[in-house]
Amino acid sequence: MDTEGARCVDVVRAQGFCFVHGDAMRTTLSGVGGLEDWLAFAGSWEALGPDPYLARTGRARKRRHAVFSAARNGAVVRAPHQPHFQTTEYNALQGDIERWFDPVTDAVADGACLQTILRYCVGFFGALAPDVERWKVEVHQFRIEARPGEAGEPTPEGVHRDGVDYVLVLMIDRRNIESGTTTIHLADGTELGSFTLRDAFDAALVDDARVFHGVTAVTALDPTEPAHRDVLVVTLKRG
């Protein structure tokens, strides 16, 4: 792990979260593996499917989902496609239902970028939990669109925990939008910090067992033009 990675481990250990600027994050990831397919990786957000479950609440979001299994010192292996499930304790809006989303494509799952990001997550969060032998890793590609007269909601469930151990949120692309500020809170609502993922590779590293997080709604700077916020979310749970 490089110096920046070690610093971030200490920060997460101390306060439960860490914001990493894109340049530093890209350098750290490059030390783990290749990123040569970044343009194709980022371009895959153009082919996300709708979130039919959120549509039932009158909201809009696009996404794809995949599950992997990762040994502490071994390979990251994709698991059979399966639903995403959270209890109402963690998702009052959509809890206690099995949600099936379009799968992450094989090209993305097997590509250099995602494999590098997954190896990084296993190494980074593994340093915070060295007793864990195996992780269940879930990958979510999200696109939040801001439409004329309608703000996009990155976290429609509000300030929340995901019900996992650790979370990486990585900015992929942010186009023609304002706001989208991430806030970190204690269980009693006390705000610990805030930051905005603006540039590619900007990242949030979160100890989900300790802190809550939310993201403010996004609106279009120019309502006549397309506006979106694309992020990759990777969660790790003791498996």
Strands 62-71, 49-50: pairing kind: antiparallel
DSSP state of 45: G
Q: DSSP string of 13-38? A: HHHSEEEE-HHHHHHHHHTTS--TTH
Residue 71, pLDDT > 70, answer yes
Distance CA 42, CA 172 (A): 6
pLDDT at residue 157 in the model: 81
Number of other CB atoms surrounding residue 68 within 10 Å:
24
Specify the higher pLDDT residue, 89 or 40: 40
Cα→Cα distances 98→53, 87, 122, 192, Å = 10, 10, 26, 32
Q: Which of 89-93, 167-171, 199-203 shows the lowest per-residue confidence on average (mean pLDDT)?
A: 89-93
Q: What's CA 145's distance to the chain center, in Å?
A: 16
Residue labelled with tokens 């992929």: 172
User: What pLDDT does 176 receive?
Assistant: 96
How many CA atoms are closer than 13 Å to the CA of 215, on its beta-carbon side? 21
Question: C-alpha angle with apex 201: 199 to 206, nearest 5 degrees?
Answer: 110
The more confidently predicted of residues 93 and 28 is: 28
Of 141, 142, 172, whose CA–CA distance to 59 is shortest? 142
Question: Each residue of 178-237: pLDDT tens digit?
Answer: 999 999 999 999 999 999 999 999 999 999 999 999 999 999 999 999 999 999 999 999
| C-alpha torsion sign, points 174, 110, 106, 87 | negative
106-127 residue pLDDT tens: 999 999 999 999 999 999 999 9
Domain 3-238: which CATH class? mainly beta
